[in-house]
């Protein structure tokens, strides 16, 4: 088969190789995952697509739901049932690898707790990428589903001016929602820094932006669930530490000195934030002004009644630790 005929077959669905591989990871999403998967299955396209799901040993009914839907759509779903819980990062990277090696020309992203709302979403984004070879990634507006069930406009991210370039992406951070992304399958292998990064999506977008521009479609074609995902549930301390590790890995990976400087500046800013956060949270426990050491001076001064004072110290420490 000549290459032109093969391209046509892939584009119009006459070949088993999908034109789009859809990445999905799921863990304890029994309330959400069926809606997520069905929102993929209703896509109306002129090409073949396939959904790759990594189910990470959920403790609820997520696995059973995924298996049932795999039976319902046997030719459209590849289901990977992990034998042990890998965690979101390793599970995600495993499914990235499966999508990269699928032979698909493009890859779309959708986590198991979000969902698509426009049945023409994939077709619109693929059409854009096909018509604009200088663009490597296409994303779009999303709606936000709050924990009270209200669907609102996006209040989490703001797409900046000149959003198309890698410099803007480095300077402003991640303004791209995962369920909105379709990108060209051009990453051949992950660098070791990506493997070590606790946050994969932003790192991936930076890697892609080295090869072309980013396109933002001002159409709402997906819903992001706020307060449900792993990042949403992280406390500020854990989230800040993850960002420091991300920027460390990214700075190591990048070769362009200007980009490295931008990422280093972000890393320093977040590191300072972490220090202030820890100090403000735990300043009462620091040695310099710790209650125990202040009271220890009292014990020394009032050595005639140590048992009474030590009892007071013990009760105060118990109260502090119990808060």
What digits encode the pLDDT tens for the residues 162-193? 999 999 999 999 999 999 999 999 998 899 99
CATH architecture of 3-233: Alpha-Beta Complex (3.90)
308 vs 135 pLDDT, higher one: 135
pLDDT for position 230: 53
Burial of 253 (0-12, 13-18, 19+ CB in 10 A): buried
In 89-111, which positions are buried (b, 16+ CB within 10 angstroms) versus exposed (e)? bbbbbbbbebbbebebbbbbbbb
Torsion of CA 54, 59, 65, 67, to 10 degrees: 60
Section 183-207 average pLDDT:
93
Share of the chain above pLDDT 70, in %: 79
Determine the 3-state secondary structure of 22 from DSSP: strand
254 vs 237 pLDDT, higher one: 254
Alpha helix (H) ranges present in 199-284? 201-209, 230-233, 236-253, 257-282
pLDDT for position 217: 98
Whole-angstrom Cα distance, residue 157 to residue 188? 29
Whole-angstrom Cα distance, residue 122 to residue 120? 6
Whole-angstrom Cα distance, residue 6 to residue 129? 18
Helix (H) or strand (E) holding 21: strand 20-26
What digits encode the pLDDT tens for the residues 210-230? 999 999 999 999 999 998 755
pLDDT for position 321: 56
Distance of CA 32 to the CA centre of its chain: 17
Q: DSSP string of 257-274?
A: HHHHHHHHHHHHHHHHHH
pLDDT for position 274: 78
Closest listed residue to residue 269, CA positions, set 247, 254, 238: 247
Distances 267 to 171, 236, 246, 275, 276 between C-alpha atoms, Å:
11, 16, 9, 12, 14
Averaged confidence pLDDT in the chain? 85
């Amino acid at each position: 088969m000549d290459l032109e005929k093969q391209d046509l077959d892939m584009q119009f669905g006459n070949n088993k190789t999908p034109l789009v591989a859809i990445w999905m990871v799921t863990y304890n999403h029994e309330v959400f995952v069926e809606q997520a998967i069905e929102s993929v299955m209703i896509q109306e396209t002129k090409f073949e697509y396939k959904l790759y799901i990594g189910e990470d040993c959920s403790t609820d009914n997520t696995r059973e739901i995924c298996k049932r839907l795999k039976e319902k759509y046997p030719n459209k779903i590849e289901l990977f049932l992990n034998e042990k819980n890998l965690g979101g990062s390793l599970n995600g990277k495993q499914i990235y690898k499966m999508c990269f090696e699928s032979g698909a020309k493009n890859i779309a992203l959708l986590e198991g707790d979000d969902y698509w709302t426009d049945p023409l979403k994939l077709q619109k984004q693929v059409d854009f990428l096909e018509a604009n070879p200088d663009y490597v990634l296409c994303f779009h507006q999303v709606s936000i589903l709050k924990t009270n069930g209200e669907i609102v406009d996006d209040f989490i991210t703001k797409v900046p001016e000149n959003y198309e370039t890698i410099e803007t992406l480095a300077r402003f951070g991640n303004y791209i929602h995962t369920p909105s992304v379709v990108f060209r399958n051009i990453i051949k292998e992950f660098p070791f820094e990506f493997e070590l990064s606790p946050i994969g999506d932003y790192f991936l977008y930076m890697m892609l932006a080295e090869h072309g521009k980013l396109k933002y479609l001002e159409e709402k074609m997906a819903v992001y669930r706020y307060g449900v995902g792993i990042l949403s549930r992280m406390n500020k301390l854990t989230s800040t530490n993850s960002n420091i590790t991300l920027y460390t890995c990214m700075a190591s990976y990048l070769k362009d000195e200007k980009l490295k400087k931008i990422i280093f500046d972000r890393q320093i800013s977040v590191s300072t934030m972490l220090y202030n956060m820890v100090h403000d949270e735990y300043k009462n426990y620091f040695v310099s002004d710790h209650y125990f050491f202040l009271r220890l001076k009292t014990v020394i001064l009032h050595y005639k009644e140590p048992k009474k004072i030590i009892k007071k110290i013990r009760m105060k420490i118990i109260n502090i630790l119990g808060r």
